[in-house]
Structure 1
Amino acid sequence: MTQSPNESDVRVRLAALVDASALSVDLLLVDAHRSDAPIVYDVPISAELAGQLLAQVAETASVALDAELRPVQPGFTPGPAQWVHAQIVDGPLADLEPLVRAPTHQQYDRDAEFGRRSLMVLRVRSRDGAELGRLYQGFSPEKALAHSKRILALWNGEQFASLDAEPLVIDRALRLFAFDDVAVMKSNSAYESLFGALPDLRVQAAAPSRPPSANWTSSAPTSCRPPVNRTST
């Protein structure tokens, strides 16, 4: 079942991510995310890379926060200054979220194998460890830290240094936030390209409304940028 949470709640959750200096991040890779047994890997990253990832998270959250937020609807294509949101209480993302939020995961190593379509997840928390949200992105084997079949060299400013592994390629175009059972995305396709079709909202429109889950309302940060009031033009 898919519903839309209150817009002000969505803005509170996004606002909690706009100050990169107040955040910490874990990089996770997920294999077989649409199967009955997905595998979540914890990927060690440097402080420098973590800082770059958090800067991109903060930038994307700011863009979404400044956008017009609309409930997800079949056939609606958001414009450049619009994002959509929906409550996702079943389906692949809802099933995967508890695994991603688990205290520990399998440690990544270079021999790990991934299917053609897997996931990369940025798990964002506050400095004191409070869970704030996850950002999901598609991931393919050619973007993995796999054994190289070539000799690679990288210019470090003074000389070429040998690389014994392929670089991990991370797309800056982050398009899907997950907050408990709520998804905030640049478009419907941001969800559908990773997890398949959203439930049929036209059928659900006839069903009795369901209030947001207790997790959603109770875990939202309380001291964030105030909601933005917008009027149609």
Structure 2
Amino acid sequence: MNVEKLTCFHFRNYETMSFSFVPKCIHFLYGKNAQGKTNLIEAIYFLSHLRSFRTNQMDSMIMHGCNEFCVQAIVESNHRKEELKVIVDHQKKHLFRFQNPVKKYSDFIGIENAILFCPDDLSLFTSSPKNRRRFIDMELMKLSRTYTSTLSSYQKLLKQRNQALKQSNIDECLVQIYLDQMIEVQSVIIKQRNEFLNSLMNKARELYPFFSNEKEEIGAKYMTFIPIDSDMKSHMK
């Protein structure tokens, strides 16, 4: 996948900026501090993930004095070009492919597949399990639209169940319906996360000996609150 052209309006310190990239080349960004080098990388990342790797506050990415920002790009993958655009307005994202609105995030995330490594990524090994799950989810969302839809369904069910539990008169039957549906969806999520990590470790074990002079081994295992087996759903009940 190649980003052929990137354009931003009212994004961070860029009122208007446009960059073109040469296919199949490694590009280096250099310049003085605060010129916007990281902002350019953030714009590419945002088009891939629909979130920033620097902040959860989308308003902070809008240029001071403006009401919205726009990031758009022409990307090429397998000899096919895509026109992508995101407009962020008051914490709402408006997505477009070939100038046509896109309603589902799952139809947009991962078209431009950006991979970022920065010093903060080392916290994956020391921070809470929530951050490691988020990392796996973000990678799977770029690889599988089905996973994106499944994860979205689980988050919606979780919100509905929590709302039902907050009612003064709790409807136990309704809560149980939500729980049963959550078990169905969560079992799929756990299996896919486990398969992803196993696949990732298989690749890592191929490459890691080069970096360790074959003196060390690398490994990771997806640990859950239940065994990952054919009887997984019954363990959740």
TM range, normalised to the smaller chain? under 0.3
* Higher share in strand: 1
Indicate the structure whose relative CO is greater, using CA pairs within 8 Å and at least 6 residues apart.
1
TM-score, normalising length from structure 2? 0.23
TM-score, normalising length from structure 1? 0.23
Larger Rg: 2
